[in-house]
Amino acid sequence: MEWNKRGKSQGHLGIPLTSNQFISGIPMMAQLLTDLGMPLFQPGKRADSGIASASALKMVGQFYVADALTGIDAQGRKIISSQDFVTKYEVKTVFGLGGVSSPGDNVNLVMIIFCRKKVEQQSVIGLIPLIGTIVASTISLIQDNLLFTNEAT
């Protein structure tokens, strides 16, 4: 499956968090950042986040779309706008876990999962502690700028 190979990804190589207006044009990213309580980057200003504290991370949270086919945001848009992807791969639930490992470094980690089976939100909440394990396992790669290079694979 080509969509599952990060080296071949074309549509989501990077999404710049440059402005509220830009991010609000991408329903899934807007909902993700809202749900995780992660403020948008503002040059020269560091905003405080409303994400709950956890032991392995400074801040963690979760993103949840119960039904990828019908989930809409506050503006009435499909949260998962790639409906052809949802249909083709029979995606039912989409969820994400996110965290900030170091408040001064702005090192953020978000993992988004597309599931072919319905997953209840309570199950997703139970997975939140995993984000600390993932950050602990990847922090040296992040610090050495190796997370998305061929050297890290």
Please state, in angstroms and rounded to a whole number, the distance separating the CA atoms of residues 13 and 24.
18
| Three-state SS sequence of 52-95 | ECCCCCCEEEEEEECCCCCCECCCCCECCCCHHHHHHCCCCEEE
pLDDT at 39: 60
pLDDT at 91: 96
Per-residue confidence band for 122, with pLDDT thresholds at 50, 70 and 90: very high
Per the model's pLDDT, the better-predicted residue between 14 and 63 turns out to be 63
* Residue 59 phi, psi dihedral angles, 5° rounding: -150, 140
Domain ranges (residues) in the chain: 2-152
Q: How confident is the model at residue 79 (pLDDT cuts 50, 70, 90)?
A: very high
Q: Who has greater pLDDT, 4 or 91?
A: 91
End-to-end CA distance of the chain: 18
Mean pLDDT score, 117-128:
92
The number of beta carbons lying within 10 Å of the beta carbon of residue 71 is 19
93: its two tokens: 């639930």
pLDDT number for residue 11: 59
Judged by average pLDDT, the poorest of 10-19, 89-98, 105-114, 135-144 is: 10-19
| pLDDT tens column, 15-30 | 766 777 888 888 888 8
The residues, any chain, with a CB within 8 Å of residue 38's CB and separated by 6 or more, are 49, 51, 61, 98, 100, 108
